[in-house]
Structures are given as structure tokens and as C-alpha cells.
Amino acid sequence: MTPSETSGTGSEAPTPMALPDGWQPLPRAARWLFVLGNLFGFGLVALALLVPIGLLLRDTPLALPLALAVLVVLPAWGTWLGYRQYACTRWQLDAHGYTLRRGRLWQRETFVPRSRVQHLDLQRGPIERRFGLSTLVIHTAGTRHNAVATAGLSADDAEWLRNQLARWIEADDDDA
């Protein structure tokens, strides 16, 4: 089953599948985007820590076990963290606006009222293209967070969201 289903028959735009509470999960392919990003970042930190371990603990028996622990534990933690970030990211589009919810322990919920949407961008990097994903960037009229980016959306869901939000912009322009 694909992450997007059609909401009816004929030429209606596909609408994403929602959880019972109305929040939309990211597609399974997005897991790899989160995992690979964290694995790469924590792997670089692990490699960078090998230099001070080698210089400061060169003549001690702790150097090799500590270096191996750093090379195993940090990338493993990054992988676990990537899975958790993926699992705790949800989005919702309703009549009031767009909401992005991230995190479990430290939850962040970003709400963009439909009247604040200025313009929209779809971004697809090489890894996202490989997994059929996109990043939707919603530029707002605010000053605190002038853009809200949602990475890991399926390409179909990102285009559907962009089209829905673009209709809001057009409707607001027509009302003015």
C-alpha cells in the first residue's frame, strides 16, 4: 500500500493516510533519511574524538578500549536517535493551518496559520530522490521562524501539501 491514497474516484488529488488522531506519519522510507543523517553526524564526532583519545591516553591501557567504545557507541546511539526522531515526527493539515510535531521527551509543535503562509518550496536532495522523498518548506510572514521545513515527506504527500497550501494563498489573494 502506498503512503497516499485517493480520497474518492476520478481526478481528485490524492490525500495522505492519517492516524486515528488525525496526525500524518512520515513514510517508512523517511526512516533512512533520519538514520543516515544521524549515523553520519555521530560517526564524524566519533572519528574526531579518536585524535584526543590517541594524544591524551597514548601510553595507557585505556586508549584502545575507549577508542573502540567511541567508534561503536556513538554511531549506534546516532542510529537509535534517528529511529526515534522518525517515529516521533508527525504533521497535520486542517482548516486552521499546518502543524508539525516533533519529539517525545522534548516535544516541539510548530503551527503555521493559513493566513501566514507566504510561499512554498519543495526540495529534493540526492538521498531524498533515491528514497522518493521531499522536503516541504513553508515560508511564513513571521519573524521568529520565517520558514518551517518538513523533511522526509513522500514526494506525493509533499506535492499534495504544496497544492493545498497554494490554494490557500490564492484564496487569500482573491479575498484581498
* pLDDT at residue 1 tops 60: no
H-run or E-run covering 153: strand 147-154
The model scores a pTM over 0.75 = yes
Counting Cβ atoms within 10 Å, is residue 83 exposed (0-12), middle (13-18) or buried (19+)? middle
Pinpoint the alpha helices (H) of the chain: 30-56, 63-87, 126-131, 155-175
What is the rounded CA–CA span in Å between residue 148 and residue 117? 10
**How far is CA 31 from its chain centroid?**
9
The predicted structure's pLDDT at residue 25: 94
SS3 (DSSP) at 155: helix
Query: pLDDT, tens digit, for every residue of 122-172?
Result: 999 999 999 999 999 999 886 666 899 999 999 999 999 999 999 888 776
Q: 20 pLDDT exceeds 90? A: no
- For the cut 80, the answer to whether the pLDDT of residue 85 exceeds it is yes
Report the C-alpha gap between 162 and 139 in whole angstroms: 11
At residue 98, does pLDDT exceed 70?
yes
pLDDT(17) > 90: no
Q: Is the pLDDT of residue 12 over 50?
A: no
**In which element (H, E) is residue 109 found?**
strand 108-113
Give the whole-angstrom CA distance, residue 55 versus residue 2: 52
Report pLDDT digits (tens) over 23-50. 999 999 999 999 999 999 999 999 999 9
